[in-house]
Each structure stands twice: as C-alpha cells, then as structure tokens.
Chain A
Amino acid sequence: QQQVKQSPQSLIVQKGGIPIINCAYENTAFDYFPWYQQFPGKGPALLIAIRPDVSEKKEGRFTISFNKSAKQFSLHIMDSQPGDSATYFCAARVTGGGNKLTFGTGTQLKVEL
C-alpha cells in the first residue's frame, strides 16, 4: 500500500526555471513531511521539512507548500541550476512511529542549460 503518492516521475526544466514536485497522502496521522535529495551512488540527503501546522516553509531556493485540508504538499525549486539535477523524494512520518519514514517513489529532475 503506497501511503505517499509522488508526481511527476520525471521532470526536465531549463536553467532558471521553477520545477514543482507534488505529493499526496491519505494517513492523517502523519505529522512531519521532509524532502530528500539523492544523487547517483549516494544516500538521500535531507533538504527541507515541514510540520502540518505550517502552510509554507522556505530555505534558500527550496520552498515547501503544504495544504492540510487537501492532504497535499509540494516542493518548489527557485532559479533551478544544473547542479540541482537529482532524484527528489517526499516522505512522511507517523506520530509516535519511532521516526519511521514512508517515502514517495521519487522524481528524477534534470535541469538543462
């Protein structure tokens, strides 16, 4: 059972563009929503995270938008650069779940010059 649905599967944007990656969830017990960035041959690295009592969080060029009523959240990358080309995963954590994360299936982003 896939508890976190992520789209699109892949995305190509031009340098300077704003790629948007979307995730949706069903489980209302999720209380923490991180995004991870993964380069080939490396483990995922925490990028930015949000709690459901906040509608938006910005860190540098990365912004999470959160819609609690729709049970959706998205990652926006401002002024995207070729170095942002990677696979991005959304994830969610259940309250009292020992900090166990459920991941989406990933979005492969390519930023072209």
Chain B
Amino acid sequence: DTGVSQDPRHKITKRGQNVTFRCDPISEHNRLYWYRQTLGQGPEFLTYFQNEAQLEKSRLLSDRFSAERPKGSFSTLEIQRTEQGDSAMYLCASSSGAPSSYGYTFGSGTRLTVV
C-alpha cells in the first residue's frame, strides 16, 4: 500500500493522559501536514513539515501539542494532559510540494476520544 498510513485508527484515553499518534507519509513526499477535524466541520490546519523542518504551526496547536518528523520520514503528534476538547479526528496528509502537484493525500485519520 503506497498511501498515507496513520496509527492507531482509534484511541480512547482518560482526561489528563498523554497520547501519541504516528503518520507514515507516501515515501517520495517531502511535505507532511497535520489537521484536526471535529464532527460536522472541515479539517483545520495544525502544522506542517518540509522534510524534517517544522515550518508552520497554527495557534490551535497549544503548548500541550508537539509534533516531530525525525529524518524527514514518519511523523508523530503528541498531546500531553489531554482534555475533552481534544476529542477529534486527527488527519495526516502528505504532498510532493511540486507546484504541479498541490493536491494532498490524506490518511484515514486517528479518532481520539477523551473521556
């Protein structure tokens, strides 16, 4: 499978716990994006990487959120001290960054439920 893979697909956690999600982009894509989608809304940008460099972070990404992309391959998104408001679908996407190829390929997402 050459698509974007996200793990886990579902995560239920208790409020206050830390969680970490993983994203494996399409191998030849140098750009990787994290978005958050709540029920009935469109995806909202969180952050993006070009290779290993994190180039932009949304103000939605509070201090409790951190993302990494070591060696420019897979990426992890960690949420510390989870709150009920963090419950959402976390989507990862990748793109080649070439002007002729602006389209993203999204993964199927990790659905987080904070209880």
Which residues on B sit within 8 Å (CB–CB) of A105?
40-42
Q: Which of A76-90 contact B (CB under 8 A)?
A: 89
Q: Does B82 contact A (CB under 8 A)?
A: no
Interface residues of A in 13-48 (CB under 8 A from B): 32, 34, 36, 41-46
- Is A49 a contact of B40 with CB atoms below 8 Å? no
Q: Would A98 and B50 be within 8 Å (CB), given that A34-B103, A46-B104, A49-B102 are in contact?
A: yes
Which residues from chain A contact B48 at a C-beta distance below 8 Å? Answer: 98-100
Per-position binary interface string of chain A over residues 84-108, scored 1 when its CB falls under 8 Å from any chain B CB and 0 otherwise? 0000010101000011111111100
Contact of B43 among A98, A99, A103 (CB under 8 A): A103
Number of A-B contacts (CB under 8 A): 58
**How many residues on the B side are at the interface (Cβ–Cβ under 8 A)?**
25
Given A105-B41, A106-B42, is A46 in contact with B56 using a C-beta cutoff of 8 Å?
no
Q: Mark B35-73, 1 if CB is under 8 A from A, else 0.
A: 000001111110010100001100000000000000000
How many residues on A have C-beta within 8 angstroms of the other chain's C-beta atoms? 23
Contact of B102 among A43, A89, A99 (CB under 8 A): A99
Q: Does chain A have a CB within 8 A of B97?
A: yes
Residues on A with beta carbons closer than 8 Å to the beta carbon of B97: 99
Pull 11 A–B residue pairs with CB atoms less than 8 Å apart, ordered by A: A42-B109, A43-B91, A43-B109, A44-B43, A91-B42, A98-B48, A99-B31, A99-B95, A99-B97, A102-B45, A106-B40
